[in-house]
Structure 1
C-alpha cells in the first residue's frame, strides 16, 4: 500500500517545480504539455503530477485542454487590470477607515519602523522585499479592522502574486517602494486620509505599470528563447 504522506510530498514537489517554471517563464503562457511530459521530467508518477496540476488549475495558472493535455494559461491583462482596480478601491477605503479610528493601530507603528530604516544598507533585498511589500499592503487593510475587506484583499493579493513579484527585479523599483511606502505612512500618521489614499493610488499604479512592462518583456524574451531551441 502506498504511503499517502510520500504521495503528498511528491505532489508538493511537482507543484513547486511547475509553479517556479511558470513564474520564471521557463513555461510561458500558451505552452502545452502532457502529464507524461511532466512525470518524465520530474521523475514522478501520474497521480502526484495530476494532483499538482489540479492545484495549479485552481490557482489559475494552468488549464486542461480537451484531449490535448494541459496548457499554461494565456496571460489575461484585462483581468489583471480589473484586479488592480479592485485592490486600489479596497486599500483606499482601508486608509480612510484607519484615519477615523480612535487610536493609531499598533501595526502602523511597526510599518513605520520597517519602511524608514536608519541607513539604506538596512533595506531588504530580493525576494524579501517582495514579501515585505505584500505584507505592507495586507497589514494596512487589516489595520482598518474589517475582516471581510481583509479576506477579499488577501484573495486579490494571491491572484496578483505571479505578476507583482516582477516589480522587485529592478533596483529602482525597490528604491521607489521604500520612498513611497514611507510617504504613505507619513500621511496616515498625520491623519491626512485623502493625501494618504492618493499617494497609495499613485504607488500602486506605478507598480502596475512597471509590472506590465516587465511581464511583456519577459514573455517576449522567453518566447524568443523557445523559438531558438526548436
Structure 2
C-alpha cells in the first residue's frame, strides 16, 4: 500500500479513536505505541499525528511523546453559534421549497416514530443525530452552506458525542427532532427555528457540564491493529 494511503488510514483510525473517547485530554502516547497498535511503520503514523496536531487534537512534547489537548469549550461554544446560524438559514430555504415533504421524507421516517421503534444504543443515536443536522442542511439545497456545516460538524464531533454518555438524552433528542420536522412540514419557519435554536443550545450546555471523570468512564478499549 502507498505511504499516503497508509497515512490516511492511520489518520482515520486515530481520528475515530479520539471521537470515540479512546483517548481523552491528558493522555500521553508515543509514535511507537501507536505504530504497534495499528501495525504500521513510523512514517505513516507520524504523518497522521502531525495532521491531528494541526487540527488541534494533540500536541507534541519534546522527548516525552504526544499528549491529547484539553477541550477548549470557549471555541466549541463559538462553533455551536455558527452552526445554529447555518441551520436556521437552512430552515428559511426549506419552508419555501415546493417539494418540502419529499425533501424531509427520509428524516421523518427515522425520527417521527413510536417509542418502541426508537433506537436505544448511545453510539448509534449519536451517529444519526449528527446525520440529522447534516441531512437538514443538504435538504436546503445550498451545497456551500452544507459544506461549511460539515466542516464545523467535524470539529465539534468529539464534544457532541459526549452528550450521549447520558441515556436520557436519547428520548429528548427524538422528541426535539420530531417537533422540528413537524414545524417544518407545517411551513412554520419561525417555530422551527425557535425549536432548533433551543435544541442546539441545550446540546451545547449538556456537553459543557461533562467532566474529565465522565470522559474517563466513556473510554472503550484501545485501538485495534489495521487489517
Q: TM-score range by the shorter chain?
A: 0.7 to 0.9
- Rate the CA distance shift 1:27–1:92 in 2: closer, same or farther, 3 A: same
How far 1:175 moved relative to its partner?
0.2
- Rate the CA distance shift 1:26–1:188 in 2: closer, same or farther, 3 A: closer
Aligned Cα root-mean-square deviation (Å): 2.6
- Rate the CA distance shift 1:146–1:30 in 2: closer, same or farther, 3 A: same
Name which of 99, 106, 110 aligns with 1:110. Answer: 106
Q: Out of 141-150 and 51-60, give the one that drifted further.
A: 51-60
- Is the CA contact 2:24–2:216 (under 8 Å) kept in the aligned structure 1? no
Per the alignment, residue 27 of structure 1 pairs with 23
Residues 103-154 of structure 1: per-residue CA shift (max 9 Å, x gap): 315231221121111x322112322211211111111111111111111001
Q: Out of 24-33 and 179-188, give the one that drifted further.
A: 24-33
Name which of 197, 205, 209 aligns with 1:209. Answer: 205
For 2:56 and 2:49, locate their aligned partners in 1 and report how far apart those are by CA, in whole Å: 10
What are the ranges of 5 or more consecutive residues in structure 2 without an aligned counterpart? 219-227
Name which of 180, 185, 193 aligns with 2:189. Answer: 193
Which protein is richer in helix relative to its size?
1
TM-score of the superposed pair, with normalisation by structure 2? 0.82
What are the ranges of 5 or more consecutive residues in structure 1 without an aligned counterpart? 223-230
Name which of 35, 38, 50 aligns with 2:34. Answer: 38
Alignment of 1:33-72 (within 5 A): 33-40=29-36, 44-65=40-61, 69-72=65-68
How far 1:32 moved relative to its partner?
3.7
Aligned residues: 217
Indicate the SS of the match to 1:64: strand
- Is the CA contact 1:33–1:70 (under 8 Å) kept in the aligned structure 2? yes
Larger radius of gyration between Structure 1 and Structure 2: 1
- Is the CA contact 1:39–1:45 (under 8 Å) kept in the aligned structure 2? yes
Per the alignment, residue 119 of structure 2 pairs with 124
How far 1:173 moved relative to its partner?
0.2
